[in-house]
Structure 1
Amino acid sequence: MKLISWNVNGLRAVMRKMDFLSYLKDEDADIVCLQETKIQDGQVDLEPEGYHVYWNYAEKKGYSGTAVFSKQKPLKVMYGIGIEEHDQEGRVITLEFENMYVMTVYTPNAKRGLERIDYRLQWEEALLAFILELDKKKPVILCGDLNVAHQEIDLKNPKANRNNAGFSDQEREAFTRFLEAGFIDSFRYLYPDLEGAYSWWSYRAGARDRNIGWRLDYFVVSERLKGQIEDAKISAQVLGSDHCPVELTINI
């Protein structure tokens, strides 16, 4: 099974920059998860052939939002995590299949000066509790922009960015707790020492051309699936957003 996750940073903008339907057809993934779609219901006419399509829109226009395209129709679709405070920004969609759950997640940014760090940590705690309940029933494949570079290897300039949003001690520790609860960062599981592997680059100062980036986009899977992971990729050659797609191939 091939899964793709991509923070498109505005789906309409991506569709103006590239032939998005051709991209989906060429990749031929079983499931495609999007984050930061920044659309409301009816703003995009997109029904890829062969896919069931699910959207979660933020209440605030032009903000956040997620989507999932799945070749197989799920048994059930859940929007959000069941907590009103955390479900107003369209950040989570969960698809239940016979032998697994697949989740797309767009984690809140702690923002400049960590002004939203308290909310971010509340979100992390609530999300983990939600995931652990799912994991009791079936293994979980979670993907998305998790807005954290976990280790120093996961960004170009760790010392200069220490305690900035996305590389604060609090956010990194929260991700460590997530993994310690029984989950695997699929990319680092396969490539523990690979440097220069990033999925986000600032639009400023030619950062992408110079590969001055961060790895913020992940496929995290229940630990009991680790032996079924076949490959994990970062598709840095795919343009259209300040993030690039990440990919997981898993035998499930």
Structure 2
Amino acid sequence: MKFISWNVNGLRAIVKKDFMTTFKELDADFFCIQETKMQADQLTLDLPGYHQYFNYADRKGYSGTAIFTKHEPISVTNDIGVDEFDHEGRVITLEYTDFYLVTCYTPNSGTGLKRLDFRMAWEPAFQDYLDQLNAQKPVILCGDLNVAHEEIDIRNPKTNHQSAGFTDDERQQFTHLLDRGYLDSFRYFNPDATDRYSWWSYRFKARDRNAGWRIDYFVTSDTLKPQLESADIKDQIFGSDHCPIELVTHDLHV
């Protein structure tokens, strides 16, 4: 089965570009989206064969997630059950026979790290939520996790050391997540790959120069290793400041 994750930086905006063509060409079983930036009544998508699930932020034009899937889930859950974090539309969980699929748009620590404290409170709450799921069945987590884990995951590590998404605190939290029994699927298949990024600033022609960050992930439970087939970054696909990422699995029952 094919899983796609993409921070589209505004679903209404990208639909006016080549999103529908890309969506059809990728032909994913599960298509997870972050940063929809919309409310329930602002867009109707014609996606034959797909079930559509959305989680909207209380604040209009902000955050938001969606999952489009060919496979009807056993259950659908929005948010993580912690009121402090459940008003920005950041998480959707679909339950299937063999796994939970979670899409997440992790809070950005912001300019001047003004939201780092919120982010650092989010991390343990979200990781505890994942562990509650993982205690029942394996988890496939995807999304814009807003952290470049290692220096290999960012073009300019030294000059960005105190930038949001590359602080020691954020990187340590991602290490802590992996230590709890999860793996970074792209690094599992591509341990030494360099210059592979999923986000580029709109400034300074960063994408033209491939001055990017790898901040979008498929993270899975360690127990799913035998079912993982490949992981890739679709960096030739445009339309957002992020590109889609892909995970392919086998022998998973929905």
Q: When the two structures are superposed, what TM-score results if normalisation uses the length of structure 2?
A: 0.98
Deviations 1:125-158 (A, max 9, x none): 1000000000000000000000000000000000
Paired position in structure 1 for 2:44: 45
Paired position in structure 2 for 1:130: 129
Rounded to whole Å, the distance in 1 between the matches of 2:20 and 2:198 is 21
Q: Which moved more, 1:111-120 or 1:217-226?
A: 111-120
Structure 2 unaligned blocks of 5 or more: none
Q: Read off the aligned partner of 2:12 and give its amino acid letter.
A: R
Paired position in structure 2 for 1:86: 85
CA RMSD in angstroms comes to 0.7
Q: Read off the aligned partner of 2:66 and give its amino acid letter.
A: A
Paired position in structure 1 for 2:169: 170
- What secondary structure, in the 3-state scheme, does the structure 2 residue paired with 1:159 have? coil
The answer as to whether partners of 1:110 and 1:166 remain within 8 angstroms in 2 is yes
Paired position in structure 1 for 2:158: 159
Rounded to whole Å, the distance in 1 between the matches of 2:107 and 2:33 is 15
Rounded to whole Å, the distance in 1 between the matches of 2:109 and 2:138 is 29
- What secondary structure, in the 3-state scheme, does the structure 2 residue paired with 1:33 have? strand
Rounded to whole Å, the distance in 1 between the matches of 2:192 and 2:131 is 28
Alpha-carbon offset, residue 124 of structure 1: 0.6
Paired position in structure 2 for 1:120: 119
Rounded to whole Å, the distance in 1 between the matches of 2:192 and 2:104 is 26
Rounded to whole Å, the distance in 1 between the matches of 2:217 and 2:43 is 26
Alpha-carbon offset, residue 228 of structure 1: 1.8
Paired position in structure 2 for 1:69: 68
Rounded to whole Å, the distance in 2 between the matches of 1:47 and 1:81 is 29
Rounded to whole Å, the distance in 1 between the matches of 2:32 and 2:157 is 28
Paired position in structure 2 for 1:10: 10
Alpha-carbon offset, residue 189 of structure 1: 0.6
Alpha-carbon offset, residue 21 of structure 1: 2.4
Paired position in structure 2 for 1:109: 108
Alpha-carbon offset, residue 164 of structure 1: 1.0
- What secondary structure, in the 3-state scheme, does the structure 1 residue paired with 2:159 have? helix
Rounded to whole Å, the distance in 2 between the matches of 1:116 and 1:28 is 36
Asked if 1:191 corresponds to 2:177, the answer is no
Paired position in structure 2 for 1:222: 221
Q: Read off the aligned partner of 1:97 and give its amino acid letter.
A: Y
Question: Identical aligned pairs, as a percentage?
Answer: 57
Q: Read off the aligned partner of 1:11 and give its amino acid letter.
A: L
Give the length in aligned residue pairs. Answer: 251
Deviations 1:45-100 (A, max 9, x none): 11311000000000000000000001010000000001111010000000000110
Rounded to whole Å, the distance in 1 between the matches of 2:234 and 2:185 is 15
Alpha-carbon offset, residue 42 of structure 1: 1.2
Structure 1 unaligned blocks of 5 or more: none
Alpha-carbon offset, residue 227 of structure 1: 2.3
Paired position in structure 1 for 2:211: 212
Q: Read off the aligned partner of 1:43 and give its amino acid letter.
A: Q
The answer as to whether partners of 1:199 and 1:214 remain within 8 angstroms in 2 is yes
Alpha-carbon offset, residue 37 of structure 1: 0.3
Q: Which moved more, 1:88-97 or 1:225-234?
A: 225-234
